[in-house]
Amino acid sequence: MEQYGNILLFGAMFVVMYFFMIRPQQKRAKAEKEFETALKVGDKVITKSGLHGKIAELAERTIVLETMSGKLKMERSAISLELSKQLNTPVVAK
């Protein structure tokens, strides 16, 4: 009978880990992938390293980012979803 309790405890721990760790990470990865595919020329973005710019060209896996200092070629995955959303969200004045 004690074996069933241990098995049930491990099963419950797995379920909790799934809903608090694995599932949110999968949702975040899916959202980032959708964001990368939805990028278009002219979008203002911020990279994960903090560079601000506008997309000048798009390729399958790379982009050309136009910054104040020139054009930079980088991977699409270098674009930050969270920072770019903040940049493109209008600020409401109080």
Predicted TM-score of the model (pTM): 0.70
- Domain match, 4 and 33 both: yes
Please check whether residues 45 and 85 belong to one and the same domain: yes
Rg of the Cα trace of the chain?
20
Q: What pLDDT, on the 0 to 100 scale, is given for residue 4?
A: 86
pLDDT at 81: 87
Q: Looking at residue 68, what is its pLDDT? A: 93
Written as one string, the DSSP assignment of 32-46 is HHHHHHH--TT-EEE
Range of the domain at 8: 1-38
User: How high is the pLDDT of residue 30?
Assistant: 94
CA dihedral 13, 14, 20, 25 (to 10 degrees): 160
What is the domain count for the chain?
Answer: 2
Element (H, E) at 85: helix 81-88
pLDDT at site 46: 92
CA dist., res. 17 & res. 88, Å (int): 34
Residue 22 lies in a domain: yes
Q: What is the pLDDT of residue 13?
A: 92
Residue 94 lies in a domain: no
Residue 93: per-residue pLDDT: 64
Q: Are 74 and 56 within one domain?
A: yes
Residues lower than pLDDT 70 in the chain: 91-94
Q: Are 16 and 57 part of one and the same domain?
A: no
